[in-house]
């Protein structure tokens, strides 16, 4: 099995799977999707500070309605180095004036044995990384977000504060292999 060359489309499928799972598990309120904007393959141009005048294309982003910048960014890439990924994360965290809370990176690396795909998640609290393809690593946990990361500066609806939002490695692997 080979990894497809249109990996950006996988980001949209993955976000749809996540949102469905979070709603099903009542991690986010029913109808919360109406409060957010989401955009596949957007271009962000409203960076501030050292990043003013910069622009960045991503695979997908999500944010509460009424905000010009996303709280959660999803990027995809082939053979992205740790330096490039860290630079992208810094651009989102610093260049949005604190609006962006999470950068998720689906990183595809080609090695001697074929492709490997990792789900890398940066939040302001730290970094999580999990192998997704070709096999999940036994004992490795799914990365998680706090619901406040999704809402950003907008108050989280009553009764949902502190909820953890799981980023399912199994669902991402399903998205990868569905199109391969």
Does residue 105 carry a pLDDT above 50? yes
Confidence (pLDDT) at 82: 60
- Which domains does the chain carry? 7-179 (3.90.1570)
Does residue 157 carry a pLDDT above 80? yes
pLDDT, average across residues 158-166: 85
Confidence (pLDDT) at 1: 45
> In angstroms, what CA-CA distances link 41 with 20, 24, 143?
20, 26, 23
| Six token digits for residue 38 | 């989401």
| Cα 71 → chain centroid | 10
Confidence (pLDDT) at 79: 60
**pLDDT tens for each residue of 42-100:** 788 889 999 999 988 888 888 888 787 889 999 887 765 665 677 888 999 999 999 99
Cis peptide before 134 (omega within 30 of 0): yes
Confidence (pLDDT) at 5: 47
């Amino acid at each position: 099995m080979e990894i497809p060359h249109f990996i950006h489309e996988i980001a949209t499928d993955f976000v749809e799977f996540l949102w469905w799972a979070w709603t099903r598990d009542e991690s986010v309120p029913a109808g919360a999707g109406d409060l957010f904007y989401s955009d596949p393959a957007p271009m962000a141009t409203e960076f501030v500070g050292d990043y003013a005048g910069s622009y960045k294309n991503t695979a997908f982003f999500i944010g509460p309605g009424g905000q010009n910048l996303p709280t959660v960014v999803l990027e995809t890439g082939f053979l992205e180095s740790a330096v490039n990924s860290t630079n992208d994360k810094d651009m989102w965290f610093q260049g949005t004036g604190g609006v962006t809370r999470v950068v998720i990176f689906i990183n595809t690396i080609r090695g001697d044995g074929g492709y490997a795909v990792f789900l890398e998640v940066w939040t302001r609290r730290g970094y999580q990384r999990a192998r997704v393809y070709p096999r999940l690593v036994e004992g490795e946990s799914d990365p998680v977000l706090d619901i406040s990361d999704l809402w950003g500066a907008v108050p989280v609806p009553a009764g949902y504060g502190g909820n953890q939002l799981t980023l399912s490695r199994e669902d991402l692997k399903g998205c990868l292999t569905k199109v391969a």
